[in-house]
Structure 1
Amino acid sequence: MTDIPTIETERLFLRPMKIEDWPQYAEMMGSQRSVYMGGPYSTRAAWGVFCHDVAQWALMRHGALMMEDRNSGVCLGQVGINHGPLFFEHELGWFVYPHAEGKGYAFEAAAALRDWAFKVCGLKTLVSYVDADNIRSCKLAERLGAELDAEAPREDPGDLVFRHPNPYVLNEG
């Protein structure tokens, strides 16, 4: 099993998932909040996604981390790097629970994991697949410095693909 990192930011611990995260995760994935991620999911399907998020660490040396408030220990949501047969490219994704929305946690966590992916994992490219109707996530991708890539392949034709700049790769040309 690959060691799963804990990444610290100013306000957050990005930490490995644990079984205690499951009830809140399942509730969110079964709700309308998951509609932009293929949901709402049945409990069985949500469990599959939860396990997928954990399994990627062993299979790919990256995966999902939970966002935890450094002061209170409250779980705020998740940020992750997805890849494998369901993704054309490495994808940076995020969600926050309702009590954490609008406070900049997703930006802080996504920026930290993006930087880790480029610097520590050595990824050359990273995208975010965002449903075109998910205005908040589109704005977050742009705030992270990502730009629309209309030519990038996508499984869902309704998704926009935001490409994150990699400061560790020199531009060729």
Structure 2
Amino acid sequence: MSLAFHIPTLATERLRLREPHESDLDAMAAFGAGPRSHFIGGPQGRRDAWRGLLANIGHWALRGYGFWSVDTAQGDFVGRVGVIFHDGWPEPELAWHLFDGFEGRGYAHEAALAARADAKTRLGLGPLISMIDPENARSIALATRLGARLERTDPGERKPFHIFRHPEAVQ
């Protein structure tokens, strides 16, 4: 089933960043129920994963950008990467999460570079931020690898988070 509006597809050497599909729900729900989701507000139930899928589609419709679903060339759905800007946030955020078993292969880095370049060239956004839980060492390492630098720590509504600023130049 296609959406009534266009979400661009991005291709990298190993990945395809595509529009979200209803068939993504099982993998999203599994991630949301797992312990690694606590960095993004989890664990959560399947209903919350469904709402997240719908909210992402709505984000694309409202803002013209959001999370892409990321597939490998072999068709494995490995996670979600994109730019989001929720109500109350300081500015648009480059964000990512990879599903269990797909970390450590450079997928998040490759997809984040593509999403960041799209935000700059297609939307004129940037330099973007990434809002990261101070305990999320893997995301901090990825932000640093992407060239982002710690700008400040925000007290947040529920707990503090680091704001990393990405470089202006598209890499």
Shared topology, TM-score over 0.5? yes
Q: Counterparts of 1:146 and 1:82 in 2: how far apart (Å)?
A: 17
The match for 1:4 is 7
State the one-letter code of the partner of 1:84.
H
Q: Counterparts of 2:128 and 2:83 in 1: how far apart (Å)?
A: 9
State the one-letter code of the partner of 1:74.
D
Normalized against structure 2, the TM-score is what? 0.91
Q: Counterparts of 1:44 and 1:115 in 2: how far apart (Å)?
A: 32
Cα distance, 1:53 vs structure 2: 1.4
- Residue 129 (1) aligns with residue 131 (2): yes
- Residue 57 (1) aligns with residue 71 (2): no
Normalized against structure 1, the TM-score is what? 0.90
Task: Tell me which of 142, 150, 156 is aligned to 1:140.
Answer: 142
- Can you give the 5+ residue segments of structure 2 that lack an aligned partner in the other structure? none
State the one-letter code of the partner of 1:104.
G
Cα distance, 1:44 vs structure 2: 2.0
Cα distance, 1:124 vs structure 2: 3.1
The match for 1:81 is 83
Checking the alignment, whether the CA contact within 8 Å between 1:90 and 1:125 is kept in structure 2 is no
Q: Counterparts of 2:50 and 2:109 in 1: how far apart (Å)?
A: 26
Aligned residue pairs total: 167
Q: Counterparts of 1:65 and 1:133 in 2: how far apart (Å)?
A: 25
Cα distance, 1:112 vs structure 2: 0.7
The match for 1:158 is 160
The match for 1:117 is 119
Cα distance, 1:160 vs structure 2: 0.7
Question: What is the aligned-residue identity percentage?
Answer: 38
Deviates more, 1:146-155 or 1:135-144: 146-155
The match for 1:22 is 25
State the one-letter code of the partner of 1:115.
A
The match for 1:90 is 92
State the one-letter code of the partner of 1:87.
W
Q: Counterparts of 2:37 and 2:88 in 1: how far apart (Å)?
A: 18
**Secondary structure of residue in 1 paired with 2:104:** coil
The match for 1:100 is 102
- Can you give the 5+ residue segments of structure 1 that lack an aligned partner in the other structure? 169-173
State the one-letter code of the partner of 1:117.
A
Cα distance, 1:22 vs structure 2: 0.5
In structure 2, the CA distance between the partners of 1:3 and 1:91, relative to structure 1 (3 Å rule), is same
Checking the alignment, whether the CA contact within 8 Å between 2:25 and 2:49 is kept in structure 1 is no
**Secondary structure of residue in 1 paired with 2:115:** helix
State the one-letter code of the partner of 1:67.
V
**Secondary structure of residue in 2 paired with 1:28:** helix
Runs of 4+ in 1 over 4 A off after TM superposition: 151-157
Cα distance, 1:143 vs structure 2: 0.3
In structure 2, the CA distance between the partners of 1:112 and 1:27, relative to structure 1 (3 Å rule), is same
